[in-house]
Structure 1
């Protein structure tokens, strides 16, 4: 769970009224956890295209949106573990039909089956877990991620895209769905927007493929920061440099929107993008080296904001 960040380490973040983080899975959850002290001033916009593990099984059998990344973010942002949070993250063992399923995914799916709006379902769980920050699905309509390949063929599914051995020509959503209104509003109100860390093509990019989110990002006056991964991805994205990933985002939006980037010390690119403010720091957690240390990540974000708003 999140470690508490000393007040003196985030004086610039304390001045920010609204900050938005975009992504999915463990990466976005780590950012949300690092910034959990911002409470209602922090909003996470979460990818809902996952088709693997417990989430994938639920989607194949029951349909609906992908709940796994939303559940992950809710659980990671909790600063004080409780019986409720342990129950929400409980995963069934054994070999029966429930084996491998996460109870939180099933709870969120049950709320969806009760015809409760996915965003409202998340809000009910937020109240149960005493989570103050907002967590919003990128869309409330079931959607999958797809990719066009150099061969001219295409594949559908996050898992299938991560298993590719080559970078796709493009990625797109099937079907093209509408963004959640609260997500658009959060971007419009944001002073800072964060992208990543996480699986680039399958966690960070999907929300940016939604036309309403593209429009909101293009019009936004917020400072926009890319947070790079600590290690090499086990996916085609491993072949993309930092500059390549930033170019993917900028080209998808149709405008150079990324103002700054945070990278692990020693992994900064040989050539820095003109106009891009870069902070290279030691960011690895002591316990899990491929995850960001919350306190160090928070300090890096705070320092980069200071550089960008000068």
Structure 2
């Protein structure tokens, strides 16, 4: 199958989404990333403590994955050491400063994209600040960091505010042939954008094929004791109208045999050896591209 003729939208957080964007960077303008903006830890969390701003860290991470300029990438990722700016990323500060100058987050991404000669598009899941809330039995846990520190899955997950998605992100979904979810932290990278009602509806109503890319390693914290089946069941309970057309997982994934979903359409599941030679829990880009090409081909053109 010729991937270059497809429009692909990838949804997730920093490292996992960055890997997918790298993998398909040659698609240029036919590739769009929609990035989680609910992080409240690290440099981004410190900026958000006293300011009404979105989380910039994952956007910065993703844009540096796509950057043609190595110096530009290093500059945005530069982390201060010591003093009042200790552990702050320069890119986060630049994006935050532009926002304080009344430049909207979508336009900030467009400015940086042009400066770094990036063809692919990158949008925040929302331009409005918001946080995650997890409901665990009889208590509510506020914020990504606290949710990640729990030992069990929440009963449900939502956003604090009723935020909206950028119109350009929604257009990208409606124009997409394929929507990729993950890899990345299930609750704090993959789920946040799907909690934006506009994005959920756009995916559900579009003609795009939806593919879930599972992590290669076991997640720490909240999802550490969950199977692929249980995570997908949890996703479908929260977002029942979104059909999963394909699943990609590692060859040795502990997904307990066949994954079955409660939906009208069958799901195509491919297991493949996807690990990077040096770091087993990271995807090798060539292997990831080959496996996704096979999966997309089988879903879009079934025999």
Normalised to the residue count of structure 1, the TM-score between the two structures is 0.92
Q: Which of the residues 26, 37, 46 maps onto 1:57?
A: 46
Q: Which of residues 256, 271, 280 in structure 2 aligns to 1:289?
A: 280
Unaligned runs of 5+ in 2: 261-265
Selected match of 2:108 from 115, 121, 125: 121
Secondary structure of 1:263's match?
A: strand
The CA distance in 1 between the partners of 2:5 and 2:198, in whole Å, is 28
Q: Give, in whole Å, the separation in 1 of the partners of 2:109 and 2:24.
A: 19
- Matched residue, 2:223: 237
- What is the aligned counterpart of 2:155 among 148, 169, 173? 169
Structure 1 residues 256, 115: closer, same or farther in 2, change over 3 A?
Answer: closer
Contact 1:77 1:131 survives alignment (8 Å): yes
Question: CA-to-partner distance for each residue in 1:4-25, whole Å, 9 max, x for gaps?
Answer: xxxxxxx431231x11001111
* Aligned mates of 1:256, 1:272 — CA distance in 2: 20
With the length of structure 2 as denominator, give the TM-score of the two structures: 0.94
Partner Cα separation in structure 1 for residue 272 and residue 257 of structure 2: 17
Q: Give 1:268 deviation, angstroms.
A: 5.4
User: What's 1:68 paired with?
Assistant: 57
Residue in structure 2 matching 1:84, options 57, 64, 72: 72
**Structure 1 stretches lacking a partner, 5+ long:** 1-10
Conservation of the 8 A alpha-carbon contact between 2:227 and 2:254:
no
Any residues of structure 2 matched to 1:41-52 within 5 Å, and which? 41-52=30-41
Matching residue of 1:206: 192
Structure 2 residue matching 1:197: 3-state secondary structure = coil
Instruction: Give the length in aligned residue pairs.
Output: 296
Kindly state the Cα deviation for residue 225 of structure 1 after the two structures are TM-superposed. Answer: 0.4
CA distance in 1, matches of 2:72, 2:160: 35
Deviations 1:212-240 (A, max 9, x none): 11211111211110000010001211222
Structure 2 counterpart of 1:34: 23
* CA distance in structure 2 between the aligned counterparts of 1:195 and 1:272, rounded to whole angstroms: 20
- Moved segments of 4+, more than 4 Å: none
2:5 to 15, 20, 24: 15
Between the aligned partners of 2:87 and 2:125, the Cα distance in structure 1 is 25
